[in-house]
A = this chain, B = another copy of it.
């Protein structure tokens, strides 16, 4: 598999296996996905010793399954009958609901793997991250306290710090599963997986210790880049 796999390549691969025509070039152009989130096995370096190797391997397999599901759904959506779409039961509805479920699963996992496992994890007080969290949560410690509360409150889901483009501020979010309770127009900057699959192998039901462990190795450089982007997004949204 080459380094630059586009979504359309994958979609067309599946379309082919389903006996469908390939996507048109115009759609193809647009469909390039950031391969960071697509080719999971190449992307994530997880040197952390706070998770076992078996846990990490299984987790990357799960990610691959979500990506396979997206591409499968995407290919089916091209061919689905839209004329029978309805809210009680229709193939279109089922595909759309699961499209969002698997998109979130794949992208949140990508963001998660990218922002953990930094063995030299360090945040400095003059970073934009520090200043923004302090601005919107009062103090950095308050952000931390709130984020831990969010992680402990999720039911097989995610704790997120997001930039809310409407409020023009950061907030923590409690996601259940992959797609319940997500605020619209939010850009995630800190992402923590709190599905049981992320901690049960190594921590059993001691979720709190897992949360602390992951927070000790947050990759603040990666987060700083996201915060800088969020700042620029904010300027456009306010403009």
Contacts and interface: CB of A to CB of B under 8 A. Distances in A.
Interface of A: 7, 24, 26-27, 29-34, 37, 54-55, 58, 61-62, 65-66, 69, 72-73, 82-83, 85-105, 107-108, 134-136, 138, 145-146, 148-150, 152-156, 160, 162, 164-169, 171-174, 176-177, 179-188, 195-197, 200-201, 204-205, 229, 232-233, 236-237, 239
21 contacts: A7-B167, A58-B205, A82-B145, A85-B153, A86-B152, A88-B98, A89-B94, A89-B102, A92-B149, A93-B174, A94-B98, A96-B173, A97-B181, A103-B184, A179-B182, A182-B183, A182-B184, A184-B186, A185-B186, A185-B188, A196-B197
Nearest to A180: B180
Contacts of A27: 135-136, 138
Given A27-B135, A232-B236, A96 B153 contact: yes
A72 B101 CA distance: 25
Contacts of A145: 82
Contacts of A168: 30, 32-34
B89 A146 contact: no
- State the copy count for this chain: 4
A145 B62 CA distance: 24
A196 B153 contact: no
Contacts of A150: 85, 96
A91 B73 CA distance: 11
A74 B220 CA distance: 28
